Amino acid sequence: MSALPAERRLAASAHSGESMLGSGAADIGAAQRSSAADSGFVAGAGNPADRATDDATARREFSVARELSRDALAGAGNPGGEAHVDGSGVDAGGGPSAPGRTEWHGPRIAVVGIGADGWDGLSRAAREAVANCAVLFGSRRQLALVPDGSAERVVWPSPLMPALPGLFAAHADRRIAVLASGDPMFYGIGVTLARLLGSGALQVFPQPSSASLACARLGWGVAETPVVSVVGRPAETLLPELTDGRRILVLAADQHSPAKIAELLRHNGFGCSELTVLEQLGGPSERITSGRADTWDVPPGDPLNIIAIEAVADPKRLRATRLPGLPDEFFGGDGQLTKAEVRALTLAALAPAPGELLWDIGGGSGSIAIEWCRTHPACRAVTFERMAKRRTQIAENAAALGVPHIMVRGEAGAELSEPPLDIPDAVFLGGGLTQDGLFETCWSHLRHGGRLVANAVTAESEALLLRWAAEYGGELRKFQIYRAEALGGFTAWRPQLPVTQWSVRKAPR
């Protein structure tokens, strides 16, 4: 294959020595992790207590970093098998986000999936789309898989998302082709372009995804195998999927991902799990390596890899599922914790759905926000806690339970409006009920059709719930949990504090 023609850099960053997306997922993932960690508002990416006074600029940087991770930064040039993108939609904050829909009036854009087998693996129609284009977008690795032609070659800039509208506007009158790894609509750039330009602007030529290829090699059912991306995301994101006997695929960020995943499994009671690393699937350099997590010592291999896990739990490990009501022992803290039974009842009243945002007022240990986010990867949460020590604990608990994207902020009130947050779909008032104006502020921010749930254990707080219920409607419940404890040589029932719960739905427009 002949050498590539000169490629131009577009939308170069202000930093000298900027790396293009084509240089690999390591560059992409590092850029995302740096942006998110520097902002300090994603749980597990720094100490939120130390960063509670960060200014709006840092928060906006966080929001942008999450959008890049969610949509396409990792996808455009990731050598990890797909144009991998974090599809969880976990951006909890406001500030600049992914570009909105742009009207596209140019020729349809060909989005061509290309695998490790390169040009030889493309269909005739896909080859013609590439051969007939005037401008060809892709990463350096992807462009190197395509023979020279007359088309201008454009390497994706970094960061990608802010540059996309300008990139396509600059070439709107030309025939464009975009290279993507594998299936462009599976954690890929195709999804982002459909959001940006509309599906009618695209003609997609998919190749098998790395997940499909991996399942084909392993004999696993594609529809039965969950896929988790750790591109631009902490490895802990995998944790909610882990249950004994489950098979999981992990889209790797780079060649170091297998060792990180093995370490994560060891430290979380899944050391006996079987790992299989599949590299360069479908290409001439395909390689498959297997081993146990607790004895994994395989040197880093090819960055183009996907990791298969057959999960085996330590018999002594407490069972954790996505269903609300995790054992209290999973949450560290100073005892400010909504107990498991009450937590399950509270989450049932909050009724989380994929992609929805929760405001958790009075976070304590973060248990409500954490369990909300564990119900589905796309669920988001902002938790408000006035005590710095507890904010730190919330971040640690969130990371340990696989939802490090939870946003942690200071005391509710001043923190509700600046910088602005997305409109919540649900609000939980677990603290601050007697704070003047807090309920009214939360109610005014709540989306029409959204849910608000408040728990009270004091007579004063209960009186407020009764008053609000009389004014706003909703349902009132009261429950008390008893737990059996030893009393001498006998067993007695130890009561917990009774909880009054008010749940109400804000009327749709």
Pairing state between β 407-409 and 109-114: unpaired
Q: Which helix (H) or strand (E) holds 130?
A: helix 124-131
Task: For residues 377 and 396, state if they share a domain.
Answer: yes
CATH of the domain at 174: 3.40.1010.10
Q: What is the 3-state secondary structure (H, E, C) of 154-165?
A: EECCCCCHHHHH
Q: Provide the pLDDT for residue 413.
A: 73
Q: In what order do the strands lie in the sheet with 305-310?
A: 227-229, 247-251, 305-310, 274-279, 287-292
- In sequence order, the β-bridge partners of residue 426 are 358, 451
Task: For residues 241 and 190, state if they share a domain.
Answer: no
Q: Read off the pTM.
A: 0.77
Residue found under tokens 């960020």: 253
Could you count the other beta carbons within 10 Å of the beta carbon of residue 351?
14
Residue found under tokens 């750790």: 230
Expressed as residue numbers, the domain containing 262 is 211-311
What is the torsional sign of CA 483, 486, 492, 495? negative
Residue found under tokens 């009671």: 269
Q: Yes or no: say if 113 and 87 are a contact pair by the CB < 8 Å rule.
A: no
Give 350-354's long-range contacts (Cβ < 8 A, gap of 24+).
350/426, 350/428, 350/451, 350/453, 350/503, 351/426, 351/451, 352/376, 352/379, 352/426, 353/379, 353/425, 354/378, 354/379
Q: Provide the pLDDT for residue 412.
A: 82
Q: Yes or no: say if 79 and 181 are a contact pair by the CB < 8 Å rule.
A: yes
Task: For residues 145 and 236, state if they share a domain.
Answer: no
- 366 inside domain: yes
Task: For residues 337 and 474, state if they share a domain.
Answer: yes
Task: For residues 342 and 467, state if they share a domain.
Answer: yes
- 63 inside domain: no
Q: Provide the pLDDT for residue 415.
A: 62
Domain edge (last residue) among 191, 207, 223: 207
Task: For residues 500 and 445, state if they share a domain.
Answer: yes
Task: For residues 230 and 261, state if they share a domain.
Answer: yes
Q: Which residues contact 393 (CB under 8 A, 6 or more apart)?
A: 332, 333, 334, 365, 366
Q: Provide the pLDDT for residue 418.
A: 65
First to last CA, the chain: 61
Structure tokens at 273: 């799990």
Q: Yes or no: say if 153 and 37 are a contact pair by the CB < 8 Å rule.
A: no
Q: Provide the pLDDT for residue 101.
A: 64
Task: For residues 294 and 368, state if they share a domain.
Answer: no
Structure tokens at 269: 């009671």
- 404 inside domain: yes
Q: Which helix (H) or strand (E) holds 340?
A: helix 340-350
Per-residue pLDDT of the chain (509 residues; tens, 9 = 90+): 333 333 332 332 322 222 222 223 332 333 333 333 332 333 433 333 333 333 333 333 333 333 333 333 333 333 333 333 333 333 333 333 445 566 787 899 999 999 999 999 999 999 999 999 999 999 999 999 999 999 999 999 988 889 999 999 999 999 999 999 999 999 899 999 999 999 899 999 999 999 999 999 999 999 999 999 998 899 999 999 999 999 999 999 999 999 999 999 999 999 999 999 999 999 999 999 999 999 999 999 999 999 999 999 999 888 898 999 999 999 998 888 999 999 999 999 999 999 999 999 999 999 999 999 999 999 999 999 999 999 999 999 999 999 999 999 988 876 676 677 899 999 999 988 999 999 999 999 999 999 999 999 999 999 999 999 999 999 999 999 999 999 999 999 999 999 999 999 999 98
Pairing state between β 499-505 and 451-456: antiparallel
Q: Provide the pLDDT for residue 100.
A: 59
Q: What gap in Å lies between CA 200 and CA 334, rounded to an integer?
A: 54
Q: State the total domains in the chain.
A: 3
Task: For residues 347 and 492, state if they share a domain.
Answer: yes
CA neighbours closer than 13 Å in the CB half-sphere of residue 328? 12
Domain edge (last residue) among 256, 278, 311: 311
Structure tokens at 490: 């006998």
Task: For residues 303 and 332, state if they share a domain.
Answer: no
Task: For residues 192 and 225, state if they share a domain.
Answer: no
Task: For residues 251 and 192, state if they share a domain.
Answer: no
Angle at the Cα of 155 from the Cα atoms of 149 and 161, rounded to 5 degrees: 140
Domain edge (last residue) among 260, 284, 311: 311
